[in-house]
Structure 1
Amino acid sequence: MRADVRRWLHHRTYSASAWQPADVLAAKRRAGCTISVVLPALDEERTVGAIVAALRTWLIEDHPLIDELVVMDSGSTDRTAAVAARAGARVVHVDTVLPEHGRVPGKGEALWKSLAVTTGDLVVFVDADLVAFDPRFVVGLVGPLLADPGVGYVKGLYDRPLDTPEGLVPSGGGRVTELLARPLLNAWWPELAGFVQPLSGEYAGRRALLESVPFVSGYGVELGLLVDILEEAGVDAMAQVDLGTRRHGHQPDAALGRMAGQILQTALARRPSAGPSSAELLQFLGSGDGIEAVNWDVGVLERPPMRSVRAAEQHRRGA
């Protein structure tokens, strides 16, 4: 493992259990800042209501940490908007925001437009398809931002159980992460290799930083933000926090393929133009003591065409 990544993992990896709502609320008041929570949603009537209700009860009524709770509806055809509003969120339809810029489909569009309709100094993004949602996610994500002014962007990491026909497997989620995003980051942006869940949908940032970088319209938004914030603020302004366990619906392989295509296009548009790519791959495995980092050499060698080998051998014998 690179020494800088090892230092970053030690210095910028936190646990959500380190922060209690009352302590984070006190830190927020000392800082004099406001917090907006945004849920991008498309046809999530089954889960969005419970998430909104949990956030409103625990972090608005019991512990007034959240100042704005907004659901960005990307054109749902089900009852997502009605369910979210009834649970206590302000629902904003994406098409009504910045109409002069037109409409682009995708999650990243909803996140980008949310910056135009919210005012919080800190902005927290939470996916709307989570099952058994824990509002401590938000506490953990804003904790590092309030504790250290040098931190500008915080990603969530978590155990990610995989639902299978045989039941719930303790781990195995994150297929696009392991097969595409992690190899890309390790090869072209090795400073970011320490992010356990680079594509996680739960993250938070300072508004000033989020408004200084572009947002990719589709599923490439998470990888794009990592790379662009690295360029804008440096890796030490970035952190990750262990949120425990995250459960959500899993998509079929064909849908994951389309997601991977958008992530690949995002990476290709940002690919460093000079220098060789790294041949190391840092992976993270679950263990009895938590998460174990394992480094692999994934470098490859290329052999020449056999015809050229034979020609060289014949030339040597003739000589």
Structure 2
Amino acid sequence: MLDEVDRWLERRSWSAVDRPLPRLLAAKRAAGPAGRVSVVLPALNEEATVGDIVAAIRRELMTEETPLVDELVVMDSGSTDRTSAVAAAAGARVVHRDDVLPRLPALPGKGEVLWRSLMVTSGEIVCFVDADLRDFDPAFVSGIVGPLLTEPDLALVKAMYDRAIGNAPVGGGRVTELVARPLINLYWPQLAGFVQPLGGEYAARRSLLERLSFPVGYGVELGLLVDALRTVGLDALGQVDVGVRKHRNQDGPALGRMAAAIYRTAHARLARGPLIRPELTQFERGPDGSFVPRTHPVDTEERPPMRTVPEYAARRHAA
């Protein structure tokens, strides 16, 4: 590991307990408009978990006594279940992906809704939290928002945690360990200190997010992290330990598709030229017992920096 990363780990890695809520509330008051916090939950068919997450944030971080979060938005990515109804009943403002920037046909993928969320939120600090978390702890929000309120030179903070799989407290994050971490160590060694580089829980200043392009699919976390390093430098990035993350684990073929998106995102940033064939073929047994190929497209689209979108520029100017 680079000496620079060793020093960064000492300076820019914390635990959520390092910043008690009263300290964060005082820092938020002192920051004024710059301390306004928006929380965004990207959701696709998460009716089983999204309500509990919304309820916990409202109960612990959006009361008169603890007004840390100003805005809580669930971005529905085209759910066919009761995700929107459950989220709204729990107290979130629900925004449907297709209702944002309607002149641009929506593309499938998590990164697409994160990008569009910048159009419908107002906080100068934007916090993203996956909507499939179980046993949700509000420290996933307060922990990663905290350093941005108390350290003015920080621009992006990621959560770090143990990743449970099944009944085991660790062992999740298979795409991280098998794909993302080797790529990061080989090509972006300054980022080697991030415990969960692909984690979906992170907070950033709007002033940074609006300057970055967003891969529309699963590669969004790697893309944003690499581009943030290039844009603001390692010392403007941090991470916070929030404990254990429990969520719905994916099966092998789904992980393969995620891995392909990670490779594509890395490839684009390494400037090695266009991909010859942006797709992934996997195999499964058919009814007759033979292996059947299934080919899936790999996301190749990226949304441009939001500040280049006319509607966003007009909205910010009006604000």
Query: So what's the TM-score if we normalise by structure 1?
Result: 0.83
- After superposition, the C-alpha distances for 1:167-187 in whole angstroms (9 at most, x for unaligned) are x11210000000000000001
For 1:64, the equivalent position in structure 2 comes to 67
Task: Tell me by how many angstroms 1:99 deviates.
Answer: 1.1
Q: Does 1:41 align with 2:43?
A: yes
* Secondary structure at 1:141 match in 2: helix
1:16-35 counterparts in 2 under 5 A? 16-32=16-32, 33-35=35-37
For 1:265 and 1:208, the matched residues in 2 are separated by 26
**Where in structure 1 are there 5+ consecutive unaligned residues?**
274-319
For 1:194, the equivalent position in structure 2 comes to 193
1:109-258 counterparts in 2 under 5 A? 109-163=112-166, 168-258=167-257
For 1:316, the equivalent position in structure 2 comes to none
For 2:224 and 2:78, the matched residues in 1 are separated by 24
Q: Does 1:102 align with 2:102?
A: no
Task: Tell me by how many angstroms 1:249 deviates.
Answer: 0.8
For 1:46 and 1:15, the matched residues in 2 are separated by 29
Confirm or deny: 8 A CA contact 1:73 1:80 kept in the other structure: yes
For 2:147 and 2:21, the matched residues in 1 are separated by 13
* Secondary structure at 1:113 match in 2: helix
Identity of aligned residues (%): 62
Task: Tell me by how many angstroms 1:19 deviates.
Answer: 1.4
Confirm or deny: 8 A CA contact 2:169 2:244 kept in the other structure: no
For 1:9, the equivalent position in structure 2 comes to 9
- After superposition, the C-alpha distances for 1:283-315 in whole angstroms (9 at most, x for unaligned) are xxxxxxxxxxxxxxxxxxxxxxxxxxxxxxxxx
The residue identity in structure 1 corresponding to 2:210 is E
Task: Tell me by how many angstroms 1:270 deviates.
Answer: 0.2
Confirm or deny: 8 A CA contact 2:126 2:203 kept in the other structure: yes
Larger radius of gyration: 1
- Aligned CA RMSD, in angstroms, stands at 0.9
Confirm or deny: 8 A CA contact 1:70 1:89 kept in the other structure: yes
Query: So what's the TM-score if we normalise by structure 2?
Result: 0.83
Confirm or deny: 8 A CA contact 2:52 2:90 kept in the other structure: yes
- The runs of 4+ residues in structure 1 deviating greater than 6 Å are none
Confirm or deny: 8 A CA contact 1:159 1:245 kept in the other structure: yes
What is the aligned residue count?
Answer: 269
